[in-house]
């Protein structure tokens, strides 16, 4: 079987490296370009099956590069990469119809699914991924021993074998999609498709066509029929992530589909019946959104039949050491790292941190630390300064102590200076930088406390 050749275009070397590793692990042949001009030159000289193109690049941006690519090879599938919903993306998607788009940071399965769809349009056969995905999203991928995680397991067991609509509540990065996939791939619909869409990552003008599809000729440059997510999810599950970001007019249409089990493509005249199980997720308090007039009350009660709440990582600190080991093991297998040991001090610092970005932030911090590591041990000095110096953790360490045990500000300051000097191995300039104070001020304080 022929190996697909993919060109990755991005001006950020870290992004190129990360995507390159993931695509090579998926057995694709990968080439890279750090600018639109380099990409156009390579496309003129070589044959590629898919292009991954960053939307925001200097000099010649993704929009202009996209236009020029189509002048070279009109049928070459191009997938936009973007870190945010951009109005340009909506304009380009309607006018030029890219083969897809993915948001940073990338989910491995979403990246693979997006590329596979583009390759099918290029004449490649579909890859049998379902067994791999089904194994990946079993219960073992939901990490934790806390009582809140045990309740999540119980909820999944209760709901997986029926078609009740589920609404998963939780902050960004808590693993809402993992729970949605666990419900699907362990339930009665596991042989059907699992289709996901992030309602906050797609511009409003594009979201409707993504959900319902469109007919050929329904708008300018609609050269062929496109199936929407509802149609693709027939006999399976549709995961509507961040449904609280959906506009009021689209909420009406979603409600109608949920009630009537049918819809029409944009520009279509025939109603299409679908058998889809809906799993929605939100990081907002939808009840408050209803009270404030931002979310339809009837849709809220229609999707909130079986609510599941995911606690933020800072409320289940006993799970953090398990997450650390799991993430290190997974990144070792992805990136061929050799991290064999994690120092207790590293685990302690990571456990004390408040993790406003939850598991996603934890994973990014660990991945960065593994890249910086020059050996087989994950040490505290590889962590970011805001974690390493424990500046954000001092309050959490002391505010819960009895009044008689609260240390003075001088004692806290002395401990912080001592710790950061230890971490920087006596380098005053680095220590001052980590504490965000001047070198002279740091030296004076260290001398005052007799640390020098």
Domain of 336: which CATH number?
1.10.8.60
- Considering the domain boundaries, does residue 317 fall inside one? no
User: What is the pLDDT at residue 392?
Assistant: 43
Asked whether residue 88 is domain-assigned, the answer is yes
**In a domain? residue 316:** no
The SS3 of residue 256 is helix
- Asked if residue 451 lies in contact with residue 414, where contact means CB atoms within 8 angstroms, the answer is yes
- Mean pLDDT within 133-154: 72
Whether pLDDT at 209 is above 50:
yes
The yes-or-no verdict on residue 391 having pLDDT over 70 is no
Which of 186, 165, 183, 149 has the alpha carbon at shortest distance from 310?
149
Looking at 90, 121, 152, which one is the last position of a domain? 121
Q: Is the pTM of this model over 0.75?
A: no
Q: What is the CATH number of the domain that holds 208?
A: 3.40.50.300
Cα separation, 40 vs 266, whole angstroms: 34
**Could you tell me which residues are beta bridge partners of residue 418?**
none
Q: What mean pLDDT is predicted for residues 31-56?
A: 91
Based on the domain organization, do 377 and 412 belong to the same domain? yes
Q: Please check the confidence at residue 395 and state whether its pLDDT lies above 60.
A: no
Is 35 a member of any domain? yes
More confident residue, 40 or 374: 40
Report pLDDT for 274. 93
**Full residue range of the structural domain in which residue 285 is found:** 130-311
Say yes or no to pLDDT of 12 above 50.
yes
Task: Please tell me whether residues 65 and 188 are part of one structural domain.
Answer: no
**Number of domains observed in the structure of the chain:** 3
Residue 311: its pLDDT value, please?
A: 93
Whichever domain contains 22, its CATH number is 3.40.50.2300
Mean pLDDT in residue range 98-109: 73
H/E segment holding residue 101: strand 100-103
Domain-ending residue, one of 254, 284, 311: 311
196 or 58, greater pLDDT: 196
| Cα 406 from chain centroid (whole Å) | 40
pLDDT at position 130: 40
Domain end, chosen from 311, 331, 347, is at 311
The pLDDT confidence band at residue 428, using thresholds 50, 70 and 90, is: confident
Same domain assignment for residues 361 and 327: yes
Question: For every residue of 346-410, which 3-state class applies, written as one string?
Answer: HHHHHHHCCCCCHHHHHHHHHHHHHHHCCCCEECHHHCCHHHHCCHHHHHHHHCCCCHHHCCCHH
User: Binning pLDDT at 50, 70 and 90, where does residue 86 land?
Assistant: low
Q: How far apart are CA 198 and CA 297, in angstroms?
A: 21
Residue 302 has pLDDT above 90, yes or no: yes
Give per-residue pLDDT as tens, 408-427.
667 777 878 887 887 777 78
CA distance 95 to 72: 18
Based on the domain organization, do 203 and 293 belong to the same domain?
Answer: yes
Q: Is residue 425 part of a domain?
A: yes
- Cα–Cα distance between 322 and 197 in angstroms, integer? 29
Q: Do 37 and 113 belong to one domain?
A: yes
Residues 42 and 107 occupy one common structural domain = yes
Res 48: pLDDT = 92
Q: Are 161 and 187 in contact (CB under 8 A)?
A: yes
Output the CA–CA distances (angstroms, integers) from residue 65 to 17, 33, 44, 120, in the order listed.
21, 12, 13, 23
Residues 224 and 172 in one domain: yes
Has residue 110 been placed in a domain?
A: yes
Q: How far is CA 230 from the centre of its chain?
A: 22
- The DSSP secondary structure of 104-139, one letter per residue, reads SSPPHHHHHHHHHHHHHHTTPPPP--HHHHHHHTSG
pLDDT surpasses 50 at 136: no
Q: What is residue 405's predicted lDDT score, i.e. its pLDDT?
A: 52
Task: Tell whether the model's pLDDT for residue 278 goes beyond 50.
Answer: yes
Q: What is the dihedral of CA 328, 333, 337, 341, to 10 degrees?
A: 40
Which of 369, 315, 318 shows the shortest CA–CA distance to 343? 369
Is 231 part of a structural domain of the chain?
Answer: yes
- For residues 49 and 124, the answer to whether their CB atoms sit within 8 Å is yes
| Averaged pLDDT for residues 400-414 | 62
- Residue 375 is assigned to a structural domain of this protein: yes
Does pLDDT of 346 surpass 50? yes
């Amino acid at each position: 079987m022929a190996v697909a050749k993919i060109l990755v275009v991005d001006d950020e070397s870290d992004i190129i490296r990360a995507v390159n590793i993931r695509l090579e692990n998926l057995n694709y042949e990968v080439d890279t370009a750090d600018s639109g001009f380099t990409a156009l030159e390579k496309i003129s000289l070589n044959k590629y099956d898919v292009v991954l193109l960053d939307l925001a690049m200097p000099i010649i941006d993704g929009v202009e590069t996209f236009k020029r690519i189509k002048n070279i090879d009109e049928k070459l599938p191009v997938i936009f990469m973007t870190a945010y919903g951009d109005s340009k993306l909506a304009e380009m998607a309607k006018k030029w119809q890219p083969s897809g788009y993915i948001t940073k940071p990338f989910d491995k399965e979403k990246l693979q699914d997006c590329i596979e769809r583009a390759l099918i349009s290029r004449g490649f056969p579909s890859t049998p991924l379902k067994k791999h995905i089904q194994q990946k999203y079993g219960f073992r991928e939901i990490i934790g021993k806390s009582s809140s995680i045990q309740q999540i397991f119980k909820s999944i067991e209760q709901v997986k074998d029926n078609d009740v609509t589920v609404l998963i509540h939780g902050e960004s990065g808590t693993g809402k999609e993992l729970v949605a996939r666990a419900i699907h791939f362990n339930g009665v619909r596991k042989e059907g498709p699992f289709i996901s869409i992030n309602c906050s990552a797609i511009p409003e003008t594009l979201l409707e066509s993504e959900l319902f599809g469109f007919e050929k000729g329904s708008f300018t440059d609609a050269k062929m029929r496109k199936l929407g997510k509802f149609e693709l999810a027939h006999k399976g599950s549709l995961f509507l992530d961040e449904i609280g970001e959906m506009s009021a007019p689209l909420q009406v249409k979603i409600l109608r589909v949920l009630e009537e089990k049918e819809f029409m493509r944009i520009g279509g005249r025939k109603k299409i019946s679908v058998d889809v199980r809906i799993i929605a997720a939100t990081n907002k308090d939808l009840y408050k959104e209803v009270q404030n007039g931002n979310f339809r009350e009837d849709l809220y009660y229609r999707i909130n039949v079986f609510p599941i709440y995911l606690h933020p990582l800072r409320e289940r600190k006993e799970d953090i050491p398990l997450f650390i080991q799991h993430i290190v093991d997974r990144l070792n297998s992805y990136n061929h790292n050799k991290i064999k040991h994690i120092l207790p001090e590293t685990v302690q610092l990571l456990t004390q941190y408040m993790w406003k970005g939850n598991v996603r932030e934890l994973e990014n911090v660990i991945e960065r630390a593994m890249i910086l590591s020059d050996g087989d041990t994950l040490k505290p000095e590889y962590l970011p300064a805001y974690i390493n110096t424990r500046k954000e953790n001092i309050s959490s360490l002391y505010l819960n102590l009895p009044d008689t045990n609260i240390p003075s500000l001088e004692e806290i300051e002395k401990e912080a200076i001592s710790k950061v000097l230890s971490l920087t191995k006596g380098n005053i300039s680095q220590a001052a930088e980590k504490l965000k104070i001047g070198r002279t001020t740091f030296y004076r304080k260290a001398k005052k406390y007799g640390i020098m």
